[in-house]
Amino acid sequence: MVKQEYIKQYLFPAQKAGECFGINPIVILAQSAIETGWGESTLAKEHHNFFGITAYGRPNAFWKGEKTDLSENSGHTSLWFRTYNSAEDSFMDFARLIHTAYPVAASLSAHPSAYAKEIAYSKYISEVNGDNRAAYQRILVSICRTIERMPVC
């Protein structure tokens, strides 16, 4: 998917989630772009999970408890991920998660650079899974700038 098409398609769910949970929709949309490869991931396309959120925790208003293991075809279980009924549910659940589990990051979201630093060096990012915190921070800021320059915003 072309970046501008992705932004146009998912800006509204990001805005709705941002408004509901007091988080800048630009950082929400940017994180979804990172986590899905601009909407190209199997998790996003088939399971409406735009943030790579794992299937831990209790079901809530946005996640009904359904899950998938993307490695099920390979014969071994690795990690369970949440599946959602819609992209909007995924965006809302992500914003709920950031608002409740990472309140400092949420409070900094009006300033994408500060938010990116806070979220990149939080438990949200897992270096055990190969995540690079500094790279994640740089990419998140870069994508926020790209989104802000797009004519759809």
pLDDT tens digits for the chain (153 residues)?
Answer: 689 999 999 999 999 999 999 999 999 999 999 999 999 999 999 999 999 999 999 999 999 999 999 775 555 667 899 999 999 999 999 999 999 999 999 999 999 999 999 999 998 887 655 678 999 999 999 999 999 988 765
Q: Are 6 and 31 in contact (CB under 8 A)?
A: no
Q: How far apart are the C-alpha atoms of 74 and 50, rounded to whole Å?
A: 23
CB 70, CB 43: distance < 8 Å: yes
Looking at residue 72, its pLDDT comes to 59
| Helix, strand, coil fractions of the chain, as percent rounded to 5 | 60, 5, 35
Q: How far apart are CA 47 and CA 30, in angstroms?
A: 19
What are the Cα distances from residue 34, in Å, to 41, 72, 136, 141? 10, 24, 8, 11
The full DSSP string for 4-18 is HHHHHHHHHHHHHHH
- Distance, in Å, from the CA atom of 38 to the CA atom of 56, rounded to the nearest integer, reads 24
Interatomic CA distance for residues 141 and 114, integer angstroms = 9
pTM metric for this prediction:
0.92
The residue to which tokens 């990001």 are assigned: 14
The bridge status of strand 67-69 relative to strand 80-82 is antiparallel
